[in-house]
Amino acid sequence: MMKSRKIFCLLSLLLTIPVLTHAQATYPFGTIIKRVFEDVSKNAKNVEKPAEKALGSMQKDGTWPDINYDDKSITNWQPAEHIARTQDLVQAYTSKGNIYYGKQELYNSIVKALNVWYDKDPKSGNWWHNEINMPQRLGVTMILMRFADEKLPDDLENKLFQRMKRGDVEAKTGANKTDIAIHFFYRALLTEDKELLESSLNELFKPVSLVDGEEGLQHDFSYLQHGPQLYISGYGSVFISGVIKIAKYVAGTPYALNKEKLALFSTFYRDTYLKTLRSRYIDFNVEGRGVSRPGILRKPSEKYQLNNMVLIDPEHTEQLENERLRVDSSVTEPYKVQPFHKHFWKGDYTLHVRPEYSFNVRIASSRTKRSEMGNKENNYGRYLSDGTTNIQLRGPEYYNIMPLWEWDKIPGTTSKDHPEDLKMEVNWGEAGHNEFAGGVSDGVYGATAYQLDYDGVRAKKSWFFFDEEIVCLGADINALASEAVTTSINQAWLNGNVSTSQGKNLKKESSEELNPGANSWVLHDNVGYYFPRETNLKISTIEQSGNWFKINNSHSATKVSGNVFKLWIDHGSKPASASYNYIVLPAVKNIKSYNPKAINIISNTTQNQAVYHNELKIFQAVFYVPSSVEFDNIVITVDKPCILMLKEAKGGRFELFVADPLQKETSVEVSMKDVKTGKLRTARIELPEGPYKGDTKKVELK
């Protein structure tokens, strides 16, 4: 009897071996696809209500009556909802612990819905839906079903594979290449196609390389997409999330991201992207047309991405953990934030970070594209590249303010004051009209300059960055049109009262025109604005209103309102050689005790703009033409346009930092003459070449 039972058990085991072998995928396909399944599966608690809703409204033929399957819209494309609801059913069917798990009724509905998708084969007028969004969703849907008790029929899977074969991955660049490669990767896992797996990962990780003149990751570690257009977030974040996700899936397998590419990617993620975040809120300058989307500036899921990054980049675990605590708001700023300054000469963007604040600037040039309008998004962002300043202490200063913005007073910009906001005229990015745009940096301090020439307004704008102060200078402001020209100092959410050196305390619903004398100030939300000379200032704390639809036709036309702090300089109609100077004090603890003697504004002319910080012993200057500037008994002369910074070092030495904002020159001659002794020091500085044109060159002078 015992012998018979052993034989029976052995026969049973032998009979099950082929079944088990068939059920388990080959290495490393099985390992990778299981990681994908675990990543895309939802918690059982969150799947029942969506599945109930989708199942209840589905018709017998597998369609939904409220979806127009012939819709071709480029945004809010209705057929995409069909796959979204199908995925709701699949999540419930494959998630253990919910009432729909493994139910035959749900399985039948899933098969019907997927057959409908194949038969109707709907198409959007937006290629992204057809070649990225839908193929990716189909891949995720089929991967989930691979772990179901009852798999999809083979013939249905094969038909859906055909629907996934969309997009030319080799022809695309940057984030778009990564996005298409992801669904090629999913299809490779599902079909266990080794050649397709290798080629998809090769294309997926190909954008993890430095490019010059192409879309993607630049030599300055900015990120450009849609031509040379700044997209550190937006398309940059798509690139980041795609690489992190897939690198996590293939970690520890023969297909893992190699060390060289990991080092490049990690540098971009840690030292560029994460530095644009203040707490969990990102600088609006780096989102491109995405600034017109509700909720886009808040990044609550970044903490999960950081957790995944630790898995693929354990070498930087400590820094990534610190960043996770910061963006998760588990700690408050300034948690382990180090002083940082960088001008991105490829992206026309400056980052200035301190433990207490971030102050970043976006400019434009003939080498880059201005912020784009496209797919009826960002309809009014025409001035978003004209020296736009992002000032953050807490993080949410600009969160969801865009429908309320007065779009010709974007923070930092000098532009016409139109009676009504003007809609953009060019889709997908307009090339900058000016050549002079750049910055100099030593990694901690720096200066940035922009020669504005847009929409009938010309000006020379510069920013000089220190620890407690950012000095903002404008000169040679000219316009012929009848509209007044203004320089917007800030336009952010009102947070508390506004106080002034004249003793005014402005609450909500106030509007003031001030002509304060020299050495006056305005204080709001712990940011001080100091005016060394008499300035024609205007302040508003009134309620502003608008709607998302106006700036982005994919969203609601429901009215939204809120009180806004708006501070600007009025240059009047048809200004001729007008100018401004003000100092932003985002780290000052008591503006009443601020000592303006620390800052010496030396020049603010058509030829040059220069500032000397008496305490830090740092001189910064922008030379629009070959010219001279005198400070502290030293005359600095340059033979070509440039931006420079001079720092006193020990032992009578100077550190000189020079950059070419025109990105044309191979060298520049800088001379320093001591007025008292007549001694002259001259240095010929060889400037960076190739993709590093515009970068800072450092030399030491004895």
Q: How far apart are CA 543 and CA 510, in angstroms?
A: 9
Residues 77 and 122: their CA atoms lie apart, in Å, by 10
Question: Counting beta carbons within 10 angstroms of the beta carbon of residue 479, is it exposed (0 to 12), middle (13 to 18) or buried (19 or more)?
Answer: buried
Residue (of 142, 246, 188, 245) closest to 29 by Cα position: 188
Q: Quick check: 152 and 89 in contact, CB under 8 A?
A: no
Cβ–Cβ under 8 Å, residues 62 and 113: yes
Q: Which residue has the tokens 């102050």?
A: 359
Beta bridge partners of 445: none
Active site residue 69: no
Between β-strands 537-540 and 520-524, what pairing exists: parallel, antiparallel or unpaired? unpaired
Residue 432 near residue 455 (C-beta atoms within 8 A): no
Please identify which residue in the block is written with the tokens 């009014």. 380
- What is the spatial order of strands in the sheet that 520-524 belongs to? 437-441, 446-454, 457-465, 470-479, 578-585, 527-531, 520-524, 498-500, 505-506
Q: Which residue among 129, 166, 289, 326 is the active-site one?
A: 289
Question: How many whole angstroms separate alpha carbon 413 and alpha carbon 489?
Answer: 8
Contact 473, 464 (CB under 8 A): yes
Q: What is the CA radius of gyration of the chain?
A: 29
- For residue 518, CA distances in Å to 462, 521, 522, 530, 581 come to 21, 9, 12, 9, 11
CA distance readout (Å), 371 to 228, 382, 388, 601: 10, 7, 11, 32
Q: Which residues touch 298 (CB under 8 Å, ≥6 apart)?
A: 280, 281, 282, 396, 399
* Residue whose structure tokens are 């050196």: 501
* Residue 231 phi, psi (nearest 5): -150, 55
Contacts of 154 (CB under 8 A, 6+ apart): none
Cβ atoms of 281 and 298 closer than 8 Å:
yes
Measured CA to CA, the distance from residue 113 to residue 86 in angstroms comes to 6
Whether the upstream peptide bond of residue 28 has omega within 30° of 0, thus cis, is yes
The dihedrals phi and psi of 433, each to the nearest 5 degrees, come to -95, -10
The answer to whether 433 is a known catalytic residue is no
Rounded CA separation 163/121 (Å): 8
Encoded tokens for 264: 């490049």
Annotation marks residue 137 as catalytic:
no
- Among 137, 146, 226, 571, the active-site one is 226
User: Cα-Cα-Cα-Cα dihedral of 537, 540, 546, 550, to 10°?
Assistant: 10
Q: Dmax of the chain from CA atoms? A: 115
Query: CA 527 → CA 179, 247, 358, 499, distances in Å?
Result: 41, 41, 11, 11
Structure tokens given for 600: 């010496």
Catalytic residues: 226, 235, 289
